């Protein structure tokens, strides 16, 4: 291969990489680190609080559970956040991020129906509730130990839902059923003693 040709190939590869970086979505803070601005906080204030840039969610004494919904509805989007939890009972922590209409949820922690950790998988509420194509089967190998911060990135684009964990692609699931715009909901599951913390929650619409 001639030297000028090699130079051209390197230049084109660099240009492609720079184009890819330029096309990267610009994520903006959804949680400001201080309060529940951008969220429907009226029914969630007893379950959520902001401390030192961290959004803390805990169930109440009656274990009634709660959703913290965004004020805005979203269709196609990318959301990224850091999350951690520590289980204090055998039931573990059961939470997740709900999106679209009809609802589909990214599971975080122990599935209430399966009683196993399904973090990073998509719960559809159908039969099966966790379709095989929507399961993050390698999530445990990617995630840091319980109690450590893990970074999740979820993209909903058209009928396809993609999840990255700590920078690695965990799964891509396609289902045209879940197509409607809806608020995003951070869940505290009823009947579970749990505490879950989020920080650096950022979002971009596509």
pLDDT at 2: 56
pLDDT given at position 45 = 93
Instruction: Quickly list H helices, 63-200.
Output: 139-142
CA 177 – CA 82 distance, rounded (Å): 28
**C-alpha to C-alpha distance for 93 and 90, rounded to whole angstroms:** 9
Q: Write down the pLDDT at residue 10.
A: 40
How far is residue 195's CA from residue 91's CA, in Å, rounded to a whole number? 12
pLDDT at 24: 81
Q: Mean pLDDT in each 10-residue stretch from start to end of the chain (206 residues)?
A: 48 43 79 97 94 97 97 98 96 97 98 95 96 97 97 98 98 98 97 97 98
| pTM of the predicted model as reported, rounded to 2 decimal places | 0.88
Between CA 55 and CA 186 the distance in angstroms is 11
Q: Where are the alpha helices (DSSP H) in 24-180?
A: 139-142
Q: Are 108 and 194 in contact (CB under 8 A)?
A: no
What is the model's pLDDT at position 1? 57
- Domains of the chain (ranges; CATH) run 26-205 (2.60.120.560)
CA distance 189 to 164: 23
């Amino acid at each position: 291969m001639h030297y000028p040709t090699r130079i051209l190939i390197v230049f084109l590869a660099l240009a492609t990489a720079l184009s890819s970086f330029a096309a990267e979505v610009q994520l903006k803070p959804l949680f400001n680190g201080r309060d529940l601005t951008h969220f429907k906080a009226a029914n969630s204030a007893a379950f959520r609080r902001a401390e030192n840039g961290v959004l803390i969610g805990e169930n109440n004494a009656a274990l009634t559970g709660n959703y913290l919904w965004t004020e805005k509805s979203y269709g196609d989007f990318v959301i990224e956040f850091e999350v951690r939890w520590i289980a204090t009972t055998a039931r573990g922590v059961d939470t997740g991020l709900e999106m679209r209409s009809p609802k589909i949820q990214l599971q975080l922690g122990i599935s209430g129906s399966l009683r196993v950790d399904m973090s990073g998988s998509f719960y559809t509420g159908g039969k099966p509730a966790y379709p095989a194509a929507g399961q993050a089967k390698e999530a445990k190998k990617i995630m840091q130990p319980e109690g450590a911060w893990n970074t999740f990135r979820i993209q909903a684009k058209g009928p396809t839902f993609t999840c990255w964990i700590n920078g690695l692609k965990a799964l891509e699931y396609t289902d045209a059923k879940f197509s409607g715009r809806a608020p995003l909901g951070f869940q505290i599951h009823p009947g579970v003693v749990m505490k879950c913390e989020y920080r650096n929650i950022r979002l971009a619409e596509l």
